[in-house]
């Protein structure tokens, strides 16, 4: 149930509603917007909504029939903007994250950071804990890798996004990361999601390869129900019967999510298609379809990358893609960081 307070409702009126909800066993999540306050009430209890409609300061009570509540668009109709230092995700700007599949060493991270920053990226990506299909494949450099990525990012004023796979990685790794990525394979690792919900740090939640949009939003709900509302969703392709690409990018997930949820959604074109020459076309399509950002694999020497070289753009290809994306963003009334 969502309770929309009137514009100008007093703090006493808001507290009164919250108290009543809590006394009826609801967990209350408060969203203070520019215009009005919205209260999300989560709980199984069936109540007569008129008991709330009559309270002072209440404009409207909406019963949410969807299984996800806090992630629902009703909870924040104007949309969520996730601010990380001076970067806003979910606002008018299309924010691009770029970098290698995995952190190899400081020199590699620094070289890529310098280049993607010049091209207009705001966040550098790079995995230190890699979810590999085979246990014999490279598993990532762990915290040592994150330290290298952090140093490279700080040198070029970039934010860091990196994946964590297990709860025990949170404490040692979290200080080096600005946005914690949950990979496709862990979208339903509920223990991990709950623990990330205890943090007050943005989470980039990737769609599982066989997950519906509702499944994705319910996973977001796990993080949010613990109190961390800073969730960014990511469409990264789903498994279909098509074999010419690594996965199939579900472009329609972008408007579907924007309709159902207030959370920002970005697109990972690299893991979606898995082949370098298809990354730019689907990136352009994603921005045209309204994605709030992209996360793209870029490498200075893809032929010798430790992993995912075949889907990583060369630095110059990324520069060109960014120039194209700026034109598309402008055409649909959005902004993008200019190249330096």
Contact of residue 309 among ligand PEP, Mn ion, none (CB under 5-8 Å per partner type):
none
Q: How far is the CB of 150 from ligand PEP (least distance, A)?
A: 17
Q: How far is the CB of 66 from ligand PEP (least distance, A)?
A: 25
Q: How far is the CB of 185 from ligand PEP (least distance, A)?
A: 6
Contact of residue 131 among ligand PEP, Mn ion, none (CB under 5-8 Å per partner type):
ligand PEP
Contact of residue 204 among ligand PEP, Mn ion, none (CB under 5-8 Å per partner type):
none
The footprint of Mn ion on residues 22-61 (CB under 5 A) is none
The CB-based long-range contact list for 142-148 (8 Å cut-off, 24+ gap) reads 142/173, 143/172, 143/173, 143/176, 145/102, 145/103, 145/104, 146/103, 146/173, 146/176, 146/177, 147/176, 148/103, 148/105, 148/106, 148/109
Kindly state the tokens that stand for 85.
Answer: 């230092």
Kindly state the tokens that stand for 235.
Answer: 């469409």
Q: How far is the CB of 36 from ligand PEP (least distance, A)?
A: 36
Contact of residue 178 among ligand PEP, Mn ion, none (CB under 5-8 Å per partner type):
none
Q: How far is the CB of 16 from ligand PEP (least distance, A)?
A: 45
Contact of residue 93 among ligand PEP, Mn ion, none (CB under 5-8 Å per partner type):
none
Count residues contacting Mn ion (CB under 5 A)? 2
Q: Please, which residue, 229 or 271, has the CB nearer to ligand PEP?
A: 271
Compute CA distances 256 → 37, 170, 216, 251, whole Å.
25, 31, 12, 9
Q: Please, which residue, 246 or 326, has the CB nearer to ligand PEP?
A: 246
The CB-based long-range contact list for 254-259 (8 Å cut-off, 24+ gap) reads 254/286, 254/289, 254/290, 254/291, 255/289, 255/290, 256/213, 257/213, 257/216, 257/217, 257/233, 258/79, 258/290, 259/73
Q: Nearest Cα to 90, choosing from 219, 232, 229, 228?
A: 232
The footprint of Mn ion on residues 81-110 (CB under 5 A) is 101
Q: Transcribe 302-329 into DSSP letters.
A: GGG-SS-GGGPBPHHHHHHHHHHHHHHH
Q: How far is the CB of 283 from ligand PEP (least distance, A)?
A: 15
Interface positions with ligand PEP (CB under 6 A): 101, 127, 131, 163, 183-185, 206, 236, 268, 271
268 touches Mn ion by CB under 5 A: no
**Look-up of token digits 């579907």:** 256
Q: Which residue is nearest to Mn ion (CB)?
A: 101
Q: CB under 5 A: which stretch of 66-74, 91-99, 150-158, 301-309 binds Mn ion?
A: 301-309
| Cα–Cα distance measured from residue 226 to residue 49, given in angstroms and rounded to the nearest whole number | 25
Q: Please, which residue, 101 or 257, has the CB nearer to Mn ion?
A: 101
Residues that bind Mn ion (CB under 5 A): 101, 308
């Amino acid at each position: 149930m969502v309770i929309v307070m009137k514009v100008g409702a007093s703090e006493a009126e808001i507290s009164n509603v919250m108290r009543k909800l809590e006394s009826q066993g609801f967990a209350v999540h408060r969203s203070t917007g520019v215009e009005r306050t919205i209260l999300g009430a989560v709980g199984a209890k069936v109540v007569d909504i008129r008991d709330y409609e009559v309270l002072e300061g209440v404009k409207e009570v909406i019963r949410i029939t969807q299984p996800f509540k806090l992630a629902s668009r009703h909870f924040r109709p104007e949309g969520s903007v996730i601010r990380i230092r001076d970067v806003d995700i979910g606002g008018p700007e299309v924010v691009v994250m770029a970098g290698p599949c995995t952190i190899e060493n400081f020199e590699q991270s620094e070289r890529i950071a310098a280049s993607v920053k010049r091209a207009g990226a705001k966040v550098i990506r790079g995995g230190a804990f890699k979810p590999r299909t085979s246990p014999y494949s490279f598993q990532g450099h762990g915290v040592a890798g994150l330290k290298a990525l952090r140093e490279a990012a700080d040198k070029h004023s970039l934010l860091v996004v990196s994946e964590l796979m297990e709860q025990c990685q949170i404490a040692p790794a979290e200080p080096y990361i600005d946005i914690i990525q949950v990979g496709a394979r862990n979208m339903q690792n509920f223990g991990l999601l709950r623990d990330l919900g205890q943090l007050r740090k943005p989470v980039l939640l990737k769609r599982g390869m066989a997950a519906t949009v509702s499944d994705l939003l319910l996973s977001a709900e796990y993080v949010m129900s613990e109190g961390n509302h800073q969730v960014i969703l990511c469409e990264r392709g789903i498994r279909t019967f098509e074999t010419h690409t690594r996965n199939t990018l579900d472009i329609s997930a972008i408007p579907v999510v924007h309709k159902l949820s207030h959370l920002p959604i970005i697109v990972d074109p690299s893991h979606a298609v898995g082949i370098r020459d298809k990354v730019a076309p689907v990136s352009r399509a994603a921005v045209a379809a309204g994605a709030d950002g992209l996360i793209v694999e870029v490498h200075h020497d893809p032929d010798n990358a430790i992993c995912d070289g075949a889907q990583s753009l060369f630095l110059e290809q990324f520069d060109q893609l960014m120039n194209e994306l700026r034109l598309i963003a402008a055409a649909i009334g959005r902004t993008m960081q200019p190249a330096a």
